[in-house]
Amino acid sequence: MNALALATRGLDKSFGSLVVAKDIELKLPQGERYALIGPNGAGKTTLINLMTGMLKPDRGHIFLGEKDITALKPEERVKCGLVRTFQINTLFPHLSALEAVTLTVCERRGYARSWWRKLPAYGDAVEEAHAILVSLRLAASCYRPTRELAYGQQRLLEIALALATKPKVLLLDEPAAGVPQGESAELFSVISDLSRDIAVLFIEHDMNVVFRFAHRIIVMVGGRILVEGTPREIAADVRVRDVYLGGTRHG
């Protein structure tokens, strides 16, 4: 197994009496594609919120590589290379796709504090942003305001913004949510084509997609990790089948 890109140790979180994460021990090796699955309310998005710093854990630690990032703010974690996308489009409606990605590149390169030179003068940032949009086949509509883009294109822009931060670990929260089934395979082929330097953890409900693109699968139920394994192991696991077919043991 490769060195770990992201790991959590004993992560706990509850809202009052509702336990949303209990003793989460997650290990994501460098360059791997992991799927995070589980029924609604299992705590998948909560786990992403905890790891990216949008929620504070009650207990436990989060490591990015060797570094303990538990105390860092969300934007500091992004600077370290831990980046997420959102299940519901969380974009900049009146910025063009090019502006939005350029903004992200400028933040990473430290240009965004500069207020004296014009944006087009930062040619390296604009070029890098444009190249990312080209690689995600968004170049043709990159000058249009985000709100005018087709829904599928907006989902791609979600990923483009994340890529522009040069992530080491990418957490994708249902990247194909709301995309018709035919297009979702296309979207995931973009994800599987990503550089192997990036470790990817994605939440997804479509099992065909999960079994096709994930190297390993983590199953969450009721705020806990139920089991982790290869797609073949997960498909054969009785407990997982119980959860998805409405078994009573974990009800």
Work out which of 9, 108, 205, 224 binds other proteins, going by CB under 8 A: 108
Give the residue, chosen from 18, 71, 121, 235, that forms a contact with other proteins under the rule CB under 8 A: 121
Nearest to other proteins of 112, 190 (CB atom): 112
Is 73 a binding residue for other proteins by CB under 8 A? The answer is yes
Give 104-162 as a DSSP string: HHHHHHT-TT--SS-GGG-HHHHHHHHHHHHHTT-GGGTTSBGGGS-HHHHHHHHHHHH
Site string for other proteins, 33-72 (x = CB under 8 A): -------------------xxx------------------
Shortest separation between residue 154's beta carbon and other proteins, angstroms = 12
**Segment interacting with other proteins (CB under 8 A) among 34-42, 74-82, 178-186, 214-222:** 74-82
Asked if 16 touches other proteins (CB under 8 A), the answer is no
Site string for other proteins, 148-187 (x = CB under 8 A): -------------xx-xx----------------------
Q: Between 126 and 145, how does the x/- string for binding to other proteins read (CB under 8 A)?
A: xx-xx-----------xx--
**Binding residue for other proteins, selected from 100, 194, 199, 203, defined by CB under 8 A:** 100
The secondary structure of 70-83 as a DSSP string is TTS-HHHHHHHTEE
Interface residue list for other proteins (CB under 8 A): 52-54, 73-75, 78-79, 83-84, 86, 90-95, 98-100, 102-104, 106-108, 111-123, 125-127, 129-130, 142-143, 161-162, 164-165
